[in-house]
A = this chain, B = another copy of it.
Amino acid sequence: MASDFSIRGVVPPVVVPLRSDRSLDVDAFERHINRLVDAGVAGLFFLGSSGEVAFSTDEHREQVIREAVRIVDHRVPVLAGCIDMETQRVMYHADKVMELGADAIVVTAPFYAIPGPHDVENHFRDIHAHIGAPMFAYDIPVCVHYKLSPEMLVRLGVDGVLAGVKDSSGDDISFRYLCIYNTDAGHPLSVLTGHEIVVDGAYLSGADGSVPGLANIDPDGYVRQWNAYQAGDWETVRSEQDRLARLMRITSVTKGVGGFGAGVGAFKTALHEMGLFPTNQMPMPVEALDGDNVAAIRGVLRQIGLVK
């Protein structure tokens, strides 16, 4: 009954390079994807929160998935975010991305309207009934203001509605129970953590992989960490994590900014400083980081050794 789509390893949520007119920079996107695939990732997640899905028109979403599918070319699975307020718009996006060749869809709880006690589970079941594609639940209360319960997630896994979970909830207790209940149910779900600063703890809890935004900057570090985990080398798992936690300070050394602009803004600025993105352009209405904030990020990269 459970989905036969599964995934194990590092699945970066891909950050999108924009030109100064805010259009997709396809060449930079191709180089970025190839760098991630070459690093040994297990899959790529497009149009997630870091992939600025919220800021995207339908046309932009379509271009991102079309190019992603072309560039990835079946080297790893393509997971496509179908993030929108409620069920019907999610179905619309799901139809589109599956037509374009995605391998799985990623869906949050509904948001904007406050859900009642049955709405969230109905939402996932209705979408599964509509499209049948492998589906990951994306648990991201900081954006949708609703926490998915481990009990519901495992129930949906057992029923074949969900193939997996991307847990960006920051709730490591809930994550532990998700792993335990999933194991007890025969492991229907691929359980991935989006919690980039404590991926090591999630592996100890039994995670099947990770979806760290920071892997856009340092995919090798997260792949090394995964390989150490597979080898049972926990000292490397934790020391690699400490190094990555220090790198993650690019998102907190800045001043006078916050939210998405401080987080994904720092990722784009780091990729620009490292020579991998031609700009650090952000989508409307967010301003790109500049001045002292760029210098502060560069300082962190220099400490870690990612720039000179």
DSSP class of A's interface residues: helix, strand, loop or mixed? helix
* Copies of this chain in its oligomeric complex: 4
Contact call B257/A117, Cβ cutoff below 8 A = yes
Interface residue tally for chain A (C-beta within 8 Å):
71
Is A73 part of the binding interface, using a Cβ–Cβ cutoff of 8 Å? no
From B56, B112, B126, B173, give the contact of A170 (CB < 8 A).
B173
Which of the residues B56, B85, B143, B262 comes within 8 Å of A54, measured between beta carbons? B85
Using A204-B201, A234-B204, A242-B180 as known contacts, say yes or no to A88 and B57 having CB atoms under 8 A apart.
yes
Of A96-104, A152-160, A269-277, A284-292, the stretch lying at the interface with chain B is A284-292
Bound Cα distance from A258 to B180, whole angstroms: 23
| Closest chain B residue to A122, Cβ basis | B285
For window 148-192 of chain A, which residues contact chain B by CB distance below 8 Å? Answer: 170-173, 176-177, 180
A111 at the interface (CB under 8 A from B): yes
Contact of A116 among B126, B197, B258 (CB under 8 A): B258
Q: List 21 A-B contacts (CB under 8 A).
A: A54-B85, A56-B89, A57-B89, A60-B88, A86-B285, A114-B258, A115-B260, A116-B257, A116-B260, A116-B262, A117-B257, A125-B285, A126-B285, A173-B198, A176-B241, A176-B245, A177-B197, A180-B242, A201-B202, A204-B234, A206-B238
